[in-house]
């Protein structure tokens, strides 16, 4: 019997490995961060011997230079896992050094190679040490321009390649055009033609999740006409995308600030799709800004 996948999530510090692990966990993987590399084979053997069948899609381990044995021993580990029948893969996350500098300055965390001198020295030293591993990675993700949602989306795509997750995964994302459309969007719908609660004093401080804003947007006859036409279009397109073999689809719905109209419409679109497609998620990207 083919064994479930084992994913090693690694890369430069500050590149988003914790977010990637969380995304694997959302995809059904059993995730462990910073497990010593010498314990992984033993951990997997124990999991295989467990009499209770687990529901995890696979395992994902966060590993990096915090474990001093990681670099010298990752090649033998990967070979051993593949010999034992595991679908073992390496996901390597990286980012530009200036991006990593900014992230560290924002979080004020200590770099694992902080003893190397300045923070920039530590980042460059880590990149040099990880370069051979980077070249052998099965999946390389540059997170320099990624938002948290975009990184999770990329990880979902990888998870789907190595598991039997059924059905096309659909993300419905509300956003504000003044912050730019989501880079991962497949379909973008502009709803700035709808009546805007922003210009109603009592509604302006609220967001699209509030009952008052929803009522204001949805009571407009133009909204009902639009929703009927748009959901009918999606009902036609989604099966065609799935038939084409698309693993995931992002439907982005935007208004000016991403706080009122797009949130209301994205919720209605999500509710409509969820009735037929359980693998759908709703993300309000800019609701906190507006």
* Domains of the chain, start order: 6-161 (3.40.50.300), 169-284 (no CATH)
How far does Cα 274 stand from its chain's mean position? 20
Spatial strand order of the sheet with 6-11 comes to 29-33, 58-62, 6-11, 88-94, 139-142
What percentage of residues in the chain have a pLDDT greater than 90? 68
Q: Which residue stretches of the chain have pLDDT < 70? A: 1-2, 48-56, 116, 164-167, 245, 290
Q: Are 157 and 186 spatial neighbours (Cβ–Cβ below 8 Å)?
A: no
Name the token pair of 26: 């959302």
At 1 the pLDDT is 53
Residue 74 CB partners (closer than 8 Å, separation 6+): 8, 37, 63, 90, 133
Question: CA 222, 224, 228, 231 torsion: positive or negative?
Answer: positive
Q: 141 forms bridges with which residues in the sheet? A: 93
Give per-residue pLDDT as tens, 68-127: 999 999 999 999 999 999 999 999 999 999 999 999 888 777 888 877 678 899 999 999
Q: What does the longest C-alpha to C-alpha distance in the chain come to?
A: 66
What percentage of residues in the chain have a pLDDT greater than 70? 93
> pTM of this prediction?
0.61
- 269 vs 264: CA distance, rounded Å: 9
At 204 the pLDDT is 95
């Amino acid at each position: 019997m083919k064994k479930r996948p084992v994913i090693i999530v690694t890369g430069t510090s500050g590149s988003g490995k914790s977010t990637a692990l969380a995304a694997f966990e959302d995809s059904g993987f059993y995730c462990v961060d910073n497990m010593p590399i010498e314990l992984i084979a033993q951990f997997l053997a124990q999991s295989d011997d467990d009499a209770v069948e687990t529901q995890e899609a696979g395992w994902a381990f966060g590993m990096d230079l915090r474990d001093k044995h990681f670099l010298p021993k990752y090649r033998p580990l990967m070979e051993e896992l593949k010999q034992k029948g595991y679908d073992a893969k390496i996901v390597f996350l990286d980012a530009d050094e200036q991006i990593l500098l900014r992230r560290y300055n924002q979080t004020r965390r200590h770099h694992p190679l902080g003893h190397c001198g300045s923070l920039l020295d530590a980042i460059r030293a880590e990149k040099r040490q990880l370069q051979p591993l980077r070249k052998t990675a099965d999946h390389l993700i540059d997170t320099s321009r990624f938002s948290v949602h975009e990184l999770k989306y990329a990880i979902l795509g990888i998870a789907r390649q190595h598991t039997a997750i059924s059905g096309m995964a659909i993300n419905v994302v509300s956003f504000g055009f003044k912050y730019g459309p989501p880079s991962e969007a497949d379909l973008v719908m502009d709803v700035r033609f709808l009546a805007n609660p922003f210009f109603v004093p009592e509604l302006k401080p609220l967001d699209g999740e509030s009952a008052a804003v929803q009522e204001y947007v949805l009571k407009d006859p133009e909204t009902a006409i639009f929703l009927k036409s748009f959901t009918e279009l999606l009902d036609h397109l989604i099966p065609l995308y799935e038939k084409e073999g698309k693993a995931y689809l992002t439907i982005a719905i935007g208004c000016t600030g991403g706080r009122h109209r797009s949130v209301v419409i994205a919720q209605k679109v999500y509710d409509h799709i969820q009735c037929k497609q359980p693998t759908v998620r709703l993300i309000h990207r800019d609701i906190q800004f507006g």
